[in-house]
Chain A
Amino acid sequence: MEPSCRLFRLATGMALIFMAAALAAPLPATAQEKMAYRLKWLINASTAGDVVARQQGFFSREGLDVAVKAGGPERDAIRELELGYAQFGVASADQVIRALAKGAPVVVLAQLFQVNPLQWIYRPAEFTLTTVRDLAGRTVGVTYGGNDETIMRALLATAGMDKGQVKLASVRYDYTPFFQKAVPIWPVYRNTQGIFLADKLKANGEAVAFFDPSRHGIRFVANSVVSSQQMVDHHMDTVRRFTRALFGRLAGRHGPGQRGRDDCRHCRARPRYRQCGHAPSAGRYPSDDSTRPGHPHRPHRYGRLEADRSDHAGPTPNRQARCRRHLAATASGPIADSAGDTNSCLMDS
């Protein structure tokens, strides 16, 4: 055999051995589980918690590599869950109801907005809206097909008003008709659009007021954190870690290793509050005591926790001193371990 031929065979043999070894070797274990979390809407103030959880490494500390993906009008987290493009998502209550009605295997993990932040903005200098009947004869903006249409129709029905008494005008994201007063009562999300619209009008010397449906008997929840039934059935541990990362740490004192319900005088006094759904549990709507008005662990209407408000009874001198110390200590430190205390201290201050 020619030496060059022998060399070629040797080289080929070694290459095959290396390839076989490479294929046989176990793949390096991925350090973190990759997840996609589809938000309901674009990144804005209402998604601050999700962004903080990602940026501050709450997910990675739970062994999850979560891609927080912005939502939008054409995005539907529930569809993405079912098609496997996302493992977690945020969906509005009307979406969840429709999906469940059509047999979608969706599970609500937590209710972010206990009260829908959807309200109607108007200029109180022009008129005031004290009751639903004050809407009579006025042009009210609604997004046809959106939950504001449902809410407005429900409001009108509760007041015994019909379509002819209120002119419903179709609106989009262009606020020109509101600025021009063509549609003087405009639907906004109080926590986002409501803020910048109010600022804009204020800069123009105009005051604004909000017509809140929940004050007139129409209480409708909004965004929920959802996942698929399959995730809950087969990857419960991942679901737990995800919710712990998203809520446990953001809730601060209810997170692992932090001051929890056992320290809460309300929960000590009333053991049934210990099951409160404030740290959300999979597959359950937060319909227990914690959602009742007045309960200290009742999540704030826009996701802020009422429990974060200075032990529920206003800042005592001791607490004020503690807060001063705490804020000083965490001024340059990470938020992760102290978010709840920091928030509550900031609120107290």
Chain B
Amino acid sequence: MLHRRITQFLLIYILGLGLLFGLKGVLSLSDYVIPGPMGVWQTGKAEFLRYLKDVLNTFLVAVIGQLLSILMAFTVGILGRRATWFGSFIKVAAYNVQAYPIVAIAPILFILLGDGFLTRLIIAAMICYFPLLLSIIGIMSEPVSDIEHFYRVTGRLRWQLEVKIRAFENLNKLTTVIAGSATLAMAGTIVSEFIAANAGIGYSIRIALYQSDLSKILVALFLIGITLSIYQGMLELIGAGVKKAWAAG
């Protein structure tokens, strides 16, 4: 799983680079618009360590933000799984929070909370949370009739068991959604850094943009991509491990 993720990323990155270099050649563009392969290589050598630190900084915030959003999404998903008044109220409230585009709210958060860790974390969690919520509500609202019926008629179906059954039966889906949300958490953190923070790879990308330096951006994209691929591959491995353990138990 891990190596497949890394191979897929490398393939896409190389294809993307090839496309850019192809465009550069066909349209005879200068290094200012699209840098040459040597330019990207030199920048990569010069900036690798600095950018790696920035990416790890961003990654740390993204992982914590993702954990926070998983927690929020599961809480809302479990509370809102029932077709009761309270369930629908929770769902509507959770949807409404997402109605405001985060890029509009982000500057207010930065003004209120400053440009430190907390703001980045909240923005990452907010961007990551909604798609997770949609999937988790979908999964948790759908009864697994074959299994639940038995426990229901015997009067042993408590909410914990109901959630466990639904989660287990949809573990593949959940693993895919959680692994996919890692990308969103990372993107959310980068967006927040780009908008206002003074740390992380999003901030470095902004500086590179100021300097009109596409080489630096390509190096940053490589590091972001490879870090995310490894992380997603690991999440998938963990998901497979959890399923195996549950099945054995």
A positions within 8 Å CB-CB of B: 73-74, 76, 78-79, 82-83, 95, 98-99, 102-105, 143-146, 170, 172, 174, 176
Contact = CB atoms under 8 A, between A and B. Distances in A.
A79 B32 contact: yes
Interface string B1-27: 000000000000000000000000001
A176 B119 CA distance: 15
Given A144-B207, A170-B198, A78 B32 contact: yes
B32 A104 contact: yes
B30 A145 contact: no
A146 B212 CA distance: 10
B31 A103 contact: yes
A74 B33 contact: no
Contacts, number: 55
Contacts of B211: 98, 145
B32 A99 contact: yes
15 contacts: A76-B212, A78-B32, A79-B33, A79-B212, A82-B30, A82-B33, A83-B27, A98-B212, A99-B30, A102-B35, A104-B31, A105-B30, A145-B209, A145-B210, A172-B196
Nearest to A99: B32
Interface string B28-40: 0111110100000
A76 B211 CA distance: 10
Nearest to A78: B32
B196 A104 contact: no
Interface residues of B, number: 22
Interface hub of A99, A104, A143, A145 (most chain B Cβ within 10 A):
A145
Contacts of B29: 82-83
Contacts of B180: none
B205 to A, nearest CB: 10
A73 B209 CA distance: 8
Contact of A102 (B27, B32, B107, B198): B32
A340 B111 CA distance: 44
Interface string B196-219: 101000010011111111000000
Nearest to B110: A174
Contacts of B196: 172, 174
Contacts of A73: 209-210
A73 B206 CA distance: 9
Contact of A145 (B107, B111, B115, B208): B208
A145 B31 CA distance: 19
B206 A145 contact: yes
Contacts of B31: 102-104
A83 B32 contact: no
A220 to B, nearest CB: 16
Nearest to A82: B33
Given A145-B209, A174-B110, 8 more contacts: A82-B32, A95-B212, A98-B211, A98-B212, A104-B32, A104-B33, A170-B198, A172-B115
Interface hub of A82, A102, A104, A146 (most chain B Cβ within 10 A):
A102
Nearest to A81: B33
A150 B27 CA distance: 32
A83 B33 contact: yes
A233 to B, nearest CB: 14
Interface string B155-194: 0000000000000000000000000000000000000000
A145 B203 CA distance: 10
A54 B6 CA distance: 52
Interface hub of A76, A82, A95 (most chain B Cβ within 10 A):
A82
Nearest to A169: B198
Contacts of B198: 170
Interface hub of B29, B107, B208 (most chain A Cβ within 10 A):
B29
A103 B210 contact: no
B74 to A, nearest CB: 34
Contacts of B209: 73-74, 145
Contacts of A172: 115, 196
Nearest to A84: B27
A189 to B, nearest CB: 15
Nearest to B23: A83
Contact of B210 (A83, A143, A176): A143
A57 B149 CA distance: 77
Contacts of B213: 98
A207 to B, nearest CB: 25
B207 A102 contact: no
Contacts of A78: 32, 212
B111 A102 contact: no
A229 to B, nearest CB: 10
Interface string B100-119: 00000001001100010000
B32 A145 contact: no
